[in-house]
């Protein structure tokens, strides 16, 4: 085991898969010579050459279209969209082509495409560079959605995503890139569709997604020390497939649940989790399900306003107070 950053973990996953399989290629804006907007792909061009590592024009539609076409002829492309805000420029390619071609070909076509996207607020990049749109794509059948929150998960899930024969949208919260965590020296894979219990507890369940995992763990530690409240933190890791079994088992034990996630409150990823709890675990709940997420408004540029509309640790604490009111 060694400690590396989230950014380095993704880079390692790239290298290992590109060394293992010459059909793995990658491309995106500023991806080759520059190493990507967040330095994730630094060094790939030097090791694997311009045939497998390419910088593209500024056209998300072309990037995703090329990924689909190259997958149809046998390659395994990893496309980078600099910010998830811009994935809508490739809306038709993602929703009507990428998600549907395997179904429309009766399984004859494999579409092993991974689309990596940075997401999230926190760096004062304003309304068009700070969204979290992962919840929107949960409503598009045919896409798998990953949003790992630790270096360990990021590496293992990306490697599995590259080997998957179905398309995967891989969301990376930009505030996690410098997060450090322990990662094995030996190769490992993590399956898509398996939630991970990040912290055991008995009084309250917090389902935390993406950047909210670290904030939830911080709150859980403080609540135990200051108030004796034992909080279990569960990270779904992937939103599609969504593994609800550990969440339901936890709610049976605690009777209380908070869902903390990035992206707008209304119709976000947490709303789907809450709906499934209502269907499968409502008889075990001793209080309402509370959600902690962004306010339903564009992300401001001003740091104090950005902070005010995005979920913070104090918002989780407020939800804890409501649960135990």
Task: Write the pLDDT tens digit of every residue in 60-104.
Answer: 999 999 999 999 999 999 999 999 999 999 999 999 999 999 999
Q: Which CATH superfamily is domain 2-183 in?
A: Thiamin diphosphate (ThDP)-binding fold, Pyr/PP domains (3.40.50.970)
Q: For residues 123-151, give the mean pLDDT.
A: 96
Contact predicate 99/167, CB 8 Å? yes
Q: What share of the chain has pLDDT > 70, as a percent? A: 100
Please report where in the chains the tokens 């071609």 appear, as a residue. Answer: 101
**129 assigned to active site:** yes
Average pLDDT over residues 156-179: 98
> How many Cα atoms within 13 Å fall on the side-chain side of residue 115?
35
Beta strands in the chain (DSSP E): 2-5, 24-28, 53-55, 76-83, 114-119, 144-146, 168-173, 180-183, 196-199, 204-208, 231-235, 238-240, 257-264, 290-294
Residue with tokens 């996207």: 117
Let me know the angle formed at the C-alpha of 69 by 66 and 72, rounded to the nearest 5 degrees.
150
Segment 225-252, tens digit of pLDDT:
999 999 999 999 999 999 999 999 999 9
Under DSSP, the state recorded for 266 is T
pLDDT digits (tens, 9 = 90+) for 37-58: 999 999 999 999 999 999 999 9
Structure tokens at 180: 């450090």
**β 53-55/24-28 pair status:** parallel
Question: What tokens appear for 110 in the block?
Answer: 């494999």
Catalytic one among 129, 155, 198, 199?
Answer: 129
pTM score, whole prediction: 0.97
Alpha carbons 3 and 263: distance in angstroms, whole number: 29
H/E stretch holding 116 reads: strand 114-119
Question: What is the per-residue pLDDT for 325?
Answer: 84
pLDDT score of 131 more than 90: yes
Backbone angles phi, psi at 121, to 5 degrees: -95, 175
Going from N- to C-terminal start, the domains of the chain cover 2-183, 196-323
CA 131 to chain centre: 13
Whats the size of the chain, residue-wise?
A: 325
Same fold, 2-183 and 196-323: yes
User: Would you tell me which CATH number, out of the four given (3.10.690.10, 3.40.718.10, 3.40.50.620, 3.40.50.920), belongs to the domain 196-323?
Assistant: 3.40.50.920
Q: What is the mean pLDDT of the chain?
A: 97
Q: Is residue 320 within 8 Å of residue 229, measured between CB atoms?
A: yes
219 pLDDT above the threshold of 90: yes
């Amino acid at each position: 085991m060694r400690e590396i950053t989230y950014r380095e973990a993704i880079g390692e996953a790239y290298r290992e898969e590109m060394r293992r399989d010459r059909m793995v290629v990658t491309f995106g804006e500023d991806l080759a010579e520059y190493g990507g907007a967040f330095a994730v792909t630094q060094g790939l061009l030097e090791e694997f050459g311009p045939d497998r590592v390419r910088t593209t024009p500024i056209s998300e539609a072309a990037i995703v279209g090329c990924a689909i076409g190259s997958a149809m002829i046998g390659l395994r492309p990893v496309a980078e969209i600099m910010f998830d805000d811009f994935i809508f420029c490739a809306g038709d390619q993602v929703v009507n082509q990428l998600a549907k071609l395997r179904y429309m070909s009766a399984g004859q076509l494999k579409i092993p495409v991974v689309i990596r996207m940075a997401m999230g607020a926190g760096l004062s990049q304003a309304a068009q560079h700070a969204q979290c749109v992962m919840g929107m794509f949960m409503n598009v059948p045919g896409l798998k959605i990953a949003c790992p929150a630790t270096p360990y998960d990021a590496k293992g899930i990306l490697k599995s995503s590259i080997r998957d024969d179905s398309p995967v949208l891989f969301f990376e919260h930009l505030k996690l890139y410098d997060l450090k965590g322990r990662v094995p020296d030996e190769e490992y894979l993590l399956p898509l569709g398996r939630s991970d219990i990040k912290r055991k507890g008995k009084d309250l369940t917090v389902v935390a997604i993406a950047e909210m995992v670290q904030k939830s763990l911080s709150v859980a530690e403080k609540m135990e020390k200051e108030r004796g409240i034992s909080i279990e933190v569960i990270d779904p890791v992937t939103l599609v497939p969504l593994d609800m079994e550990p969440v339901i088992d936890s709610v049976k034990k605690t009777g209380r649940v908070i869902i903390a996630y990035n992206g707008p409150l209304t119709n976000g990823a947490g709303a789907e989790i809450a709906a499934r709890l209502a269907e499968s675990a409502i008889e075990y709940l001793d209080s309402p399900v509370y959600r902690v997420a962004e306010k339903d408004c564009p992300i401001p540029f001003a740091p104090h306003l950005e902070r005010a509309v995005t979920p913070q640790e104090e918002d989780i604490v407020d939800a804890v107070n409501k649960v135990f009111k």
